[in-house]
C-alpha cells in the first residue's frame, strides 16, 4: 500500500505538457560535460560562467515538465535587450528566466525580469533594497511560473504551456521579497513584502507582511484580493538577549506555502543564535486563514535552525540544525514532534533537499568562508553529499566551487524522480548551473 500511495503521489506530477521547446525561443546551448576531480562522477553544466546564473531557491521548485528542464535565473541580456554589459552578483538591473533542457543543453528564454532605474524616486519610502536574485517558483500541476521583476513591485504568472504572461499584482505601497512561492496545484501564491515601519527604539524602519493570493491557474488572474496572513515589525533584540558575537534581529522572511496543502505556510523569523525561547525560534508555522500561528518547534538554546523547507508530501518541515557541527531534523509543525535525521557532521551541512519518498537527502557543506579561498573572489571548495536515510550512509557526490554570497551558493535540489541533483557553482564573480546524476 505504501508503494502504491507513493507512486500515485509522484505520478500526480507526471503530466502531459506542451513542450517548452515548442513555445519559447531557443537562445543557445552552453552544455559542458566534465568529470569531478574528487569522485570521478559526471557533472553536466547547463550554463557558462560568463554571467550570473542560478537555479531556483532550495525551498522552491526548479525542475520542470517531468524533470526535463531546469529553470534558471540569469543576468545575461534577454533577447532584443540593448544591455550588453556583464555585471557582478550585486547588479540589480535587468535579468531573465531561462529553461535548460537537461538532455540537449538547449536554453530557452521564458521571461524578462524588468528593471526600473527610477524605482527609488517613483515609489519613494515604499521602495526597499531587496535581494537581487531568486525571484520565481514553479507549479507542476498547471505548469506555471510565478515571479516578480527586478523592481520588486510587479508580480506575474507565466504559463509554460502557452507562453502567456499576466501581471498578477502591481504593488506600489511596498516591495516584494525573495522568493515568492506557489503550491503544486498552481492556485495559491504566498509572498511577503516590506513596507515602512517604526524606526524608534530598536525597530529598523521596516515591517514585513506575508500575503496569500488565490489565483485562477488557467486564466492567470487573481481571485478576490491579496489577504494578509501575518505581520512582523523588524527589530533588533535587546543586548541582553544577544547569544552570539552579532546582535540578533527578528524579522519575517522565506514565506513558503506548503506545496501539497495550500491551507498552510511556514516562514523564517529572525537571525542569530537562539536562547531557547519561543521569541527567538526560527521556524514558524501558520494557517493561511490566521487560525493558528506558532513556532513549528522551539529552537534549542545555542543552536541555529535554518534553511527550512517542506517535505514533498507536505507533512514535515525539514531544516538544518547548527551548533558548531551540523545536522538535519524534521518537525511535524502542527504537533511540534521533532525527529533527528542525522547530526554532528563536520564540516557542517548548510542547505538540504529531500527526495519525494524522503529516503534521500542531499546537502552541501559549509566550511568557514575565511578558510582556504581558492581565488580573489573568496570562492572556496565545498562537498555535495547524498545521505541515505534508511541505510544511514553518506556518499560524496562532488566537490564544488562555492561563492561567498548569493547567488553563488550550491543550493542542491533533487528532481522529482530522485535521479539527478541540480546545483549552482561559483565561476569567478559569476556562477553557472549544473547537475549530477545519482547512482544510489
At CA 192, angle to CA 191 and CA 194, rounded to 5?
150
Tell me the per-residue pLDDT of 407-436, one tens digit each, with 9 for 90 and over.
889 999 999 999 999 999 999 989 999 999
Tell me the per-residue pLDDT of 117-128, one tens digit each, with 9 for 90 and over.
778 889 999 888
- Tell me the CATH number at 348: 2.130.10.10
Q: Looking at per-residue confidence, does 198 or 82 come out higher?
A: 198
Tell the burial category of 201 from Cβ atoms under 10 Å away from its Cβ (0-12, 13-18, 19+): exposed
Beta strands in 272-368 (DSSP E): 283-287, 293-295, 304-310, 317-323, 325-332, 337-345, 348-354, 360-366
Query: What are the beta bridge partners of residue 204?
Result: none
Tell me the per-residue pLDDT of 154-197, one tens digit each, with 9 for 90 and over.
999 999 999 999 999 999 999 999 899 999 999 999 999 999 99
Predicted pLDDT of residue 209: 97
Does the pLDDT of residue 89 top 50, yes or no?
A: no
Q: Which three cell numbers stand for residue 404?
A: 561567498
Tell me the per-residue pLDDT of 1-37, one tens digit each, with 9 for 90 and over.
344 444 444 455 557 777 899 999 999 999 999 999 9
Does the pLDDT of residue 84 top 60, yes or no?
A: no
Cβ within 8 Å of residue 219, ≥6 positions away: none
Tell me the per-residue pLDDT of 229-267, one tens digit each, with 9 for 90 and over.
999 999 988 766 666 556 678 899 999 999 999 999 999
Predicted pLDDT of residue 87: 54
The three-state secondary structure class of 365 is strand
Residue span of the structural domain in which 175 resides? 2-437
Strand order across the beta sheet in which 154-159 lies: 136-139, 144-148, 154-159, 165-170
Structurally, how many domains does the chain consist of? 1
Amino acid at each position: 500500500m505504501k508503494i502504491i500511495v507513493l507512486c500515485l503521489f509522484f505520478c500526480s506530477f507526471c503530466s502531459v505538457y506542451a513542450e517548452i521547446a515548442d513555445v519559447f525561443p531557443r537562445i543557445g546551448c552552453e552544455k559542458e560535460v566534465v568529470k569531478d576531480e574528487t569522485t570521478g562522477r559526471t557533472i553536466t553544466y547547463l550554463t557558462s560562467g560568463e554571467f550570473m546564473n542560478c537555479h531556483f531557491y532550495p525551498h522552491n521548485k526548479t525542475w520542470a515538465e517531468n524533470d526535463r528542464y531546469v529553470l534558471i535565473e540569469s543576468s545575461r541580456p534577454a533577447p532584443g535587450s540593448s544591455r550588453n554589459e556583464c555585471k557582478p552578483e550585486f547588479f540589480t538591473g535587468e535579468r531573465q528566466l531561462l529553461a535548460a533542457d537537461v538532455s540537449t543543453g538547449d536554453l530557452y528564454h521564458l521571461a524578462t525580469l524588468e528593471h526600473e532605474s527610477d524605482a527609488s524616486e517613483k515609489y519613494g519610502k515604499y521602495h526597499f533594497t531587496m535581494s537581487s536574485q531568486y525571484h520565481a517558483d514553479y507549479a507542476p500541476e498547471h505548469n506555471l511560473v510565478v515571479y516578480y521583476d527586478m523592481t520588486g513591485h510587479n508580480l506575474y504568472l507565466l504559463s509554460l504551456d502557452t507562453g502567456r504572461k499576466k501581471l498578477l499584482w502591481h504593488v506600489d505601497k511596498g516591495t516584494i521579497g525573495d522568493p515568492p512561492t506557489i503550491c503544486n496545484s498552481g492556485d495559491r501564491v504566498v509572498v511577503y513584502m516590506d513596507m515602512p515601519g517604526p524606526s524608534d527604539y530598536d525597530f529598523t524602519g521596516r515591517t514585513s507582511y506575508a500575503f496569500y493570493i488565490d489565483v485562477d491557474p488557467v486564466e492567470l488572474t487573481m481571485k478576490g484580493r491579496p489577504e494578509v496572513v501575518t505581520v512582523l515589525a523588524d527589530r533588533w533584540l535587546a543586548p541582553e538577549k544577544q547569544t552570539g558575537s552579532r546582535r540578533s534581529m527578528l524579522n519575517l522572511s522565506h514565506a513558503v506555502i506548503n506545496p501539497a496543502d495550500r491551507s498552510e505556510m511556514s516562514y523564517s523569523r529572525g537571525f542569530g543564535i537562539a536562547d531557547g525561547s519561543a521569541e527567538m525560534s526560527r521556524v514558524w508555522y501558520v494557517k493561511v486563514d490566521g487560525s493558528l500561528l506558532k513556532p513549528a518547534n522551539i529552537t534549542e538554546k545555542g543552536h541555529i535552525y535554518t534553511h527550512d523547507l517542506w517535505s514533498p508530501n507536505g507533512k514535515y518541515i525539514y531544516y538544518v540544525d547548527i551548533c558548531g557541527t551540523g545536522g538535519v531534523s524534521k518537525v511535524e509543525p502542527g504537533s511540534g514532534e521533532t525527529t533527528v535525521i542525522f547530526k554532528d557532521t563536520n564540516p557542517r551541512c548548510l542547505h538540504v533537499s529531500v527526495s519525494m519518498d524522503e529516503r534521500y537527502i542531499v546537502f552541501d557543506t559549509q566550511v568557514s568562508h575565511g578558510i582556504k579561498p581558492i581565488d580573489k573572489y573568496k570562492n572556496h571548495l565545498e562537498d555535495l553529499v547524498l545521505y541515505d536515510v534508511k541505510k544511514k550512509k553518506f556518499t560524496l557526490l562532488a566537490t564544488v566551487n562555492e561563492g561567498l554570497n548569493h547567488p553563488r551558493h550550491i543550493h542542491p535540489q533533487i528532481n522529482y524522480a530522485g535521479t539527478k541533483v541540480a546545483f549552482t557553482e561559483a565561476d569567478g564573480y559569476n556562477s553557472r548551473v549544473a547537475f549530477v546524476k545519482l547512482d544510489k
